[in-house]
Amino acid sequence: MKTALKIRFIILTVIIVALIATGCTNEAATTESATTENGQKTLKVYWWGNDGRRERTLKVIDLFEKQYPNIKIEPVDATNGDYWTLLAMKAADQDFPDVIQMDYKYIDEFAKRKLILPLDDLAASGKLDLSDLDSSSRTTGTIDEKLYGVVTGINALTMMYNPEIFEKAGVPVPATGYTYEDFIQTARDLKEKINEPGFVPIGTDSLDFAYYLRQRGASYYSKDGNSLGYDKDEYLSDFFTMEKMLIDDGLMASADILKDRPSDKDSLIVNQLAAFHRLTSNNVVSFTSLSGKALKLLPLPAFKGGSEGNYVKPSMYFSISAYTKLQDEAALFVDFFFNNFEANDILLGERGVPATAKVREHLLSTMKETDKEQYIYMGEVEKNSSPLDPPVPLTSSSINTLFTKIRNQTLLGQITPDEAAKQFRDGANEIFADAAS
């Protein structure tokens, strides 16, 4: 839930209020962003990500500017936790970007609030070539029968691992279909075999409760987003019991261990101090580069006798601001990012496996074997996956904050897992009730 905790800072309503409040006056700001300087039009492009993503994106921007010298890109990036707050601040300053990296969680709300443009007309005119966009990816970016986001790539949750550590320990890598019980035993075997200071078999400080619920035939939220999607508190109690055991037994990193490791380059797996690391599949590109090791991907553990928990999701989108005065130029940039082979040779699927067959085939024909891991993994996930959940409700930020607070109390032994499960339900119900009033 570390990422979820960061997302509590996302204040989408601030963006909405700021843009609605500025309304007509925002036209001056967008006109200013479209003025020419030395014959160039300035296009503001915003995204979130790590240093590796910044480096790759800036190289693609340089390539784009060389091909289209009449357009200058003004790039701005931030960490995921800071990105949405940055958008809110820019909205309040009447300085909204033209091209926005967008998340599945929020695209529905941005579209319904008319903060981003439908892209169908730009596609129909040929200014944005989406002819090769996978149908499933087109569907995830479609709201009320209009397309609002171009998928930069697809990904899935994964348990990344370092095969060298398994080889060193003489411990077999878990086989396909491995269960939580298998996972825990493997972690114990690794801990016993690699008795070195600082080594923790599982390098992240949590598993994934929403994924766990899917495996037990339930969901985190109801379909309408107005309540929790599961009715048995034992699900959360069992989950917290498992996490507490893993941390107490030194099999999974505690928050205290990770407090001084804020970035990917500091992570335990990159520094050969962990065998496993839970994340989304596209991150294997940057983690492999940082570690200098050929890292591999597995699905998260299965719940014995349970349902399939994995799913294919859009890693992110590019959307075009409804406030831009440079629709055609924005479409040209998104098209370049999406379709250009040379650009994708640089990106290498860092934002996820490309959602267009021709780009995937091009990359697979030219990339090194070590760079193909997420493509192989996503091919397996697409064969063995369950439907994607609807986007989370706006209450999710508050719900996640509550979850993290209660989880921390449980891990510290201040409350029992049973008490935690009840307190979380009671608190979540209060949040839903407040939102509805």
**How confident is the model over 308-329, as pLDDT tens digits?**
999 999 999 999 999 999 999 9
pLDDT band, residue 108 (cuts 50/70/90): confident
- Within a domain: residue 200? yes
pLDDT band, residue 34 (cuts 50/70/90): low
- Within a domain: residue 375? yes
- Within a domain: residue 415? no
Range of the domain at 131: 2-156+313-383
Q: How does the average pLDDT of the chain come out, rounded?
A: 90
Instruction: Judge if 133 and 161 occupy the same domain.
Output: no
9 contacts 84 by C-beta, under 8 angstroms:
yes
- Within a domain: residue 394? no
Q: What is the CATH number of the domain that holds 207?
A: 3.40.190.10
**Which residues, at least 6 apart from 294, have a Cβ–Cβ distance to it below 8 Å?**
163, 288, 370, 373
Instruction: Judge if 77 and 181 occupy the same domain.
Output: no
- Within a domain: residue 19? yes
CA 167 to the chain's CA centroid: 30
In the numeric block, which tokens belong to residue 207? 């598993």
**Which of 363, 383, 403 is where one domain is finished?**
383
Instruction: Judge if 220 and 320 occupy the same domain.
Output: no
CA nearest neighbour of 86 among 11, 23, 184, 8: 11
CA nearest neighbour of 180 among 313, 5, 298, 3: 298
- Within a domain: residue 389? no
**Which of 252, 268, 298 is where one domain is finished?**
298
Instruction: Judge if 11 and 23 occupy the same domain.
Output: yes
As a whole number, mean pLDDT of residues 421-436 equals 96
The predicted structure's pLDDT at residue 37: 56
Per the structure, the count of domains in the chain is 2
Residues 174-198: pLDDT tens digits? 998 999 999 999 999 999 999 899 9
DSSP character at residue 25: G
- Within a domain: residue 247? yes
Instruction: Judge if 193 and 144 occupy the same domain.
Output: no
Instruction: Judge if 148 and 8 occupy the same domain.
Output: yes
**CA gap 387, 372 in Å, rounded:** 25
Instruction: Judge if 61 and 17 occupy the same domain.
Output: yes
Instruction: Judge if 115 and 52 occupy the same domain.
Output: yes
**Which of 263, 298, 333 is where one domain is finished?**
298
Residues 41-88: pLDDT tens digits? 999 999 999 888 999 999 999 999 999 999 999 999 998 878 988 888
Instruction: Judge if 151 and 12 occupy the same domain.
Output: yes
Question: Across 18-22, 248-252, 359-363, which has the greatest mean pLDDT?
Answer: 248-252
Claim: this prediction has a pTM higher than 0.75: yes
As a whole number, mean pLDDT of residues 333-348 equals 95
Instruction: Judge if 262 and 346 occupy the same domain.
Output: no
311 contacts 387 by C-beta, under 8 angstroms:
yes
DSSP character at residue 75: E
- Within a domain: residue 421? no
Instruction: Judge if 183 and 229 occupy the same domain.
Output: yes
**CA gap 43, 374 in Å, rounded:** 32
The predicted structure's pLDDT at residue 64: 98
Instruction: Judge if 138 and 12 occupy the same domain.
Output: yes
